Amino acid sequence: MRQFLSVADVSDVSSIVQEALALKHAPHTHDKLGNHKTLGLLFFNASLRTRVSTQKAAQNLGMNVIVVNVGTESWKLEFGEGVVMEGDTVEHIKEGAAVLGQYCDILGVRAFAGLTDREMDYSENIMCKIIRYAGVPVLSLESATRHPLQSLTDLMTITELCQKPRPKVVLTWAPHPKALPQAVPNSFAEWMRCADVEFVITHPEGYELATEFAGDVPVLYNQDEALTGADFVYPKNWSSYRNYGAVLSQNRNWTLTAAKLLQTNAAKVLHCLPTRRNVEIADDVLDSPSSVVIQEAGNRVYAAQAVLKRMLETNF
Ligand code: AN0
Ligand code: CP
């Protein structure tokens, strides 16, 4: 695998899930593979899990890791073409990415959607420019439209917990005070469509995901109907794609509560985290055995490790 930007970079989804699960049980079996190779992690946005789990995954493979937080501890980068740089950007991505490519063998990048210009975000402008100018393999740590390390972890966790063939998996919109990107639900949908699951999406009207991600997945506007018989529930907020970046609803009837889980098949609840307690998900879910969010976060290490292992094997 040369790069990891979406599920399309994985030739065999179920085998990388199995590889991640195997690494969980024997994380140090390839601890020489990454010797003398440097992973750079470039963050344009905050992170707890991705930052720490990807460092740990790289360390388990014997890699060196350098973390750079753009803007706060490196120069503010310019992405525009032909810009007269007399504003607050100090360095152009053409030099910035090319320089990082001199120091790093693989570059991880987190660059969220700006949520103002849909065309710009969905063209993956930042990620594409970094790939172009860095000249080294790139790993997405959440881009404008996708969060593939999270989705691989989600599928790994579902596989790990699954008691039956073809479980019912429900992605449900949940409220949030701020506009969030569509990256997590987009990516989750993309990966679930490649998995052997019955997949359903539920959200209020106006929160439809882009067709390239939702495909022909059934969409229900009635959350109770969608949750019926679910084996796994993934509550997550996202802002509107159609009315780009808008918060159309703050309706707390969509908060996932223990009462709502009664209509499921004793569903396990996943979430990428961070989550706003009692807005997206109620305490009585997060503090109950239904929640598997900590196990899921733990699995981020082994999903990242499976990806880095494949990238090291292909590129060096
Ligand atoms: C981000 C998002 O929803 O894309 C990151 C999730 C992993 N969440 C927040 O900004 C709260
Ligand atoms: N789930 C996830 O990516 O978390 P962070 O934003 O903390 O990295």
- Yes or no: say if 151 and 190 are a contact pair by the CB < 8 Å rule: yes
Determine whether the shortest distance from the Cβ of 274 to ligand 1 is under 6 A: yes
How many CB atoms are located within 10 Å of the residue 74 CB?
Answer: 15
C-alpha to C-alpha distance for 236 and 272, rounded to whole angstroms: 8
Ligand 2 atom nearest to 142, measured from its CA = 3
Q: Cα 91 from chain centroid?
A: 28
What pLDDT is attached to residue 73?
A: 87
Q: Cα–Cα distances in Å, from 132 out to 8, 80, 205?
A: 19, 14, 38
Q: Are 264 and 285 in contact (CB under 8 A)?
A: no
Q: Does residue 293 line the site of ligand 1, with CB under 6 A?
A: no
Evaluate: CB of 49 within 6 angstroms of ligand 2: yes
Asked whether 266 lines ligand 2 (CB < 6 A), one says no
Ligand 1 centre from 177 Cα, in Å?
12
Listed in sequence order, the residues at least 6 apart from 277 whose beta carbon sits closer than 8 Å to its beta carbon are: 283, 286
- Atom 9 in ligand 1: residue holding the nearest Cα: 180
82 alpha carbon – ligand 2 mean position (Å): 34
**206 Cα: distance to centroid of ligand 1 (angstroms):** 20
Domains present along the chain, CATH in parentheses:
7-146+300-315 (3.40.50.1370), 149-296 (3.40.50.1370)
Cβ partners under 8 Å of residue 159, min gap 6: 17, 18, 21
Establish whether the linkage from the previous residue to 274 is cis, with ω within 30° of 0: yes
Cβ–ligand 1 distance for 180 under 6 Å, the answer yes
Predicted confidence at residue 72, as pLDDT, reads 86
Q: Which of 180, 247, 296 to mutate to test the pocket of ligand 1 (most atoms within 8 A of CB)?
A: 180
Q: What is the pLDDT of residue 85?
A: 98
Confirm or reject: Cβ of 181 under 6 Å from ligand 1: yes
261-287 pLDDT tens trace = 999 999 999 999 999 999 999 999 999
Residue pair 232/267 in contact by the 8 Å Cβ criterion: yes
Residue 185 Cβ < 6 Å to ligand 1: no
Instruction: Collect the ranges in the chain with pLDDT lower than 50.
Output: none
Main-chain phi, psi angles of 200, to 5 degrees:
-135, 145
